[in-house]
Structure 1
């Protein structure tokens, strides 16, 4: 097949999938029925820069009863002191201390498991400490779960991007979810292989969470949102990704080095596998990078129009900064570099790690 035509076909795949997924992405609103209690559960390790704003936003929730639990996971900064101060002002907030990390567990997953054990809610809303919930989010997620009979609901918060390093990494999340996942994580698809979630914000119906074994069933993972959602679907439960941009904001990383380390940590449980990554390289490089080498072929021009059009549409939907769109080819190049780095690290036996912990047991995941 003609190279330029091949590039155009590779660009058309995410453009078509992206248009469908954007059109059908569920929006959530409303309040759940009486008797619903949402437990907002926050694992925290060295989060003094984030935890107060996160808690004040969570405690401002309306439309449903909430409790807020923080699991201090061996913080070496003022995180627990800040939580104690706020807990003295609001009885709905509790501070817990994580026990020593057992062998075979990753830190966040262990903290989430212990939080779930201590929670009293009918629904468990796991969020990261860098997430800022909107006031109606807890109610809207619980209402959507009840209305659609969903065991798990997740969404990608609006990503706050302030540096070029973040712009070269963070937008990949929504591009891959919307442009390359058939069904976009909606409940109309039930296959575990098509499951999706964002670990920054995941709401679970409690009985279903306990039925699948909760976080204990995925104790060795570093990609908790995706792995937990697959576990729910394997157990016969319905899960769904919804429009998360109106529900919360999150600044994942501050700068390129932190973003590179964070995405590399999770890559082995996503794209960076010996069989999968060559395929992903063809799909991503062929659609988003190769057309540049084929200019001025008409098909290459059309391919670039499709890829930039998709990126612009996703940027508008996700409420990300417009100035990140011209960087799109570099963003795709960095995404592939991260994935190949993670695969090479695994191949030579270098374990992933995060916040002062190494996880040797995950290298063969």
Structure 2
């Protein structure tokens, strides 16, 4: 009976490893770097900044180095207590404005409030929101604006190339690309208007100013900590098209520095992602059985604890899982070390989500950048 159960589990793992493998193959074929084109329309590059002294100068200078399109850069200083505003002032470019974000009103999260305030001051028809740790490539802004114009999409986003400086970051950050490419059918997203198919990366989002104003933009998701999920769904619900592109050539980002910071960062918006009583068991089945279980069965098989009938599909599942990770790794130019770490990375991602879900009632709040937000309001 035990051998039968193990064989059934191995076959289930193979089926669940096949799903993201197929979707990754399809998505990598259709997701391309958008071709940059000259555009006379001003791109307003908007950067919310709260205590970003270590990042802000390089981010602003990269944005100002944009080519093919005219740009203005607005940095919203969100009550920084470090040297962030002084660093921005010292850059001294006439295309750069430093604005003070007003005090945070009740019912808003900090980033949404800062972005909404900057958008109200922007002059361009294209609003490009980037995080303070994102470095735009010279043609990044022009590429995103060109994609919006060519496709008629009111929102265009993509995942920047992630700079992974420590093993802890390699165990956490690569899940962004894996979940997006492995479980979102991009061709259907482009064909169907269903809001649930909307997806973006909050690090890099270009929105058309008219659509932003019509939908309320960040004001329409003011309580959210997960703009990458909520903004495209807001736009699609209002009848606007959204799109994704291969953005690793367009920008780079060092999201977190070390495992502890990454754990805290991904925990912040887990309430609006997987960490719900309805969603997390499904994701645990999909990810746990398809990406983690095969490696455990193969390890047990090497110790003589798994019959051949189970070991063969388990080994095939593991090979398929690692090949899927390898294809993503090469496409997004991630470190090769993320390939063998993949099963552990998936297990860590599930641990983060379950930790958030199980402590949700006790914590009652999500904390980020020194601010706490009620979970019920997220």
TM over 0.5: yes
Deviation at 1:184, TM superposition (A): 6.8
Could you report, residue by residue, the CA deviation over 1:146-178 in whole angstroms, capped at 9, with x for unpaired residues? Answer: 111110000100000010110010000000000
1:167, 1:23 → 2: CA distance?
A: 25
Q: What is the rounded CA distance, in whole Å, between the counterparts of 1:185 and 1:199 in structure 2? A: 21
Partner of 2:306: none
Out of 139, 143, 153, the position equivalent to 1:140 is 143
Contact 1:346 1:364 survives alignment (8 Å): no
Q: Which structure 2 residue ranges, 5 or more long, are not aligned?
A: 302-310
- The root-mean-square deviation of aligned C-alpha atoms, in Å, is 1.3
Counterparts of 2:216 and 2:278 in 1: how far apart (Å)?
Answer: 29
Corresponding residue to 1:31 among 25, 31, 37: 37
Q: Hey, what does 1:72 align to over in structure 2?
A: 77
Note the alpha carbon deviations across 1:190-231, whole angstroms, 9 max, x for none.
211111100000000111111111111100000012111110
| Structure 1 SS opposite 2:256 | coil
CA deviation after TM superposition for structure 1 residue 185, in Å: 8.1
Indicate yes or no: 2:115 matched with 1:116: no
Q: Does 1:276 align with 2:292?
A: no
Distance 1:237 1:26 in 2: 21
Shift of residue 345, structure 1, vs aligned partner = 2.4
Q: Deviations over 1:2-28 (max 9, x none)?
A: 221111101101111111111111320
Task: State the alpha-carbon separation in 1 of the partners of residues 216 and 98 from structure 2.
Answer: 24
Residues 248-267 of structure 1: pairs in structure 2 closer than 5 A: 248-267=251-270
- From the CA coordinates, give the structure whose radius of gyration is larger: 2
More helix by share: 2
Give the alignment partner of residue 54 of structure 2, picking from 31, 41, 49.
49
Partner of 2:318: 304
- Verify the 8 A CA contact 1:101 1:107 in the aligned structure 2: yes
Q: What are structure 1's unaligned runs of at least 5 residues?
A: none
- The answer to whether the 8 Å contact 1:346/1:363 transfers is no
CA contact (8 A) 1:177 1:184 kept: no
1:150 alignment partner, SS class: coil
Q: Does the CA contact (< 8 Å) of 1:167 and 1:324 recur in 2?
A: yes
2:131 is aligned with 1:128: yes
Q: In the alignment, what sits opposite 1:345? A: 359
SS of the counterpart of 1:204? Answer: strand
Displacement of 1:186 in angstroms is: 4.7
Any idea what SS the aligned residue of 1:289 has? helix
Quote the Cα distance in structure 1 between the aligned partners of 2:123 and 2:288. Answer: 47
Equivalenced residues, count: 361
Query: Which secondary structure does the structure 2 equivalent of 1:268 belong to?
Result: helix
Task: Please state if 1:3 is matched with 2:9.
Answer: yes
Aligned to 1:150: 153
2:107–2:377 contact (8 Å) kept in structure 1: no
Equivalent position to 1:336, from 328, 350, 363:
350
In the TM superposition, what are the counterparts of 1:109-258 in structure 2 within 5 Å?
A: 109-183=112-186, 186-258=189-261
What's the counterpart of residue 101 of structure 1?
A: 104
Structure 1 residues 147 and 190, CA gap change in structure 2 (3 angstroms): same
Q: Which residue does 2:305 correspond to in 1?
A: none
Distance 1:194 1:334 in 2: 25
**Length-normalised TM-score, structure 1:** 0.96
> 1:40 — aligned with what?
45
Cα distance in 1 for residues equivalent to 2:190 and 2:65: 29
- Inter-CA distance 132–245: structure 2 relative to 1 (3 Å threshold): same
TM-score, normalised to structure 2, is 0.93
Q: 1:288-333 CA deviation, whole Å, 9 max, x = no partner?
A: 1111333341100110011000000000001111012111111011
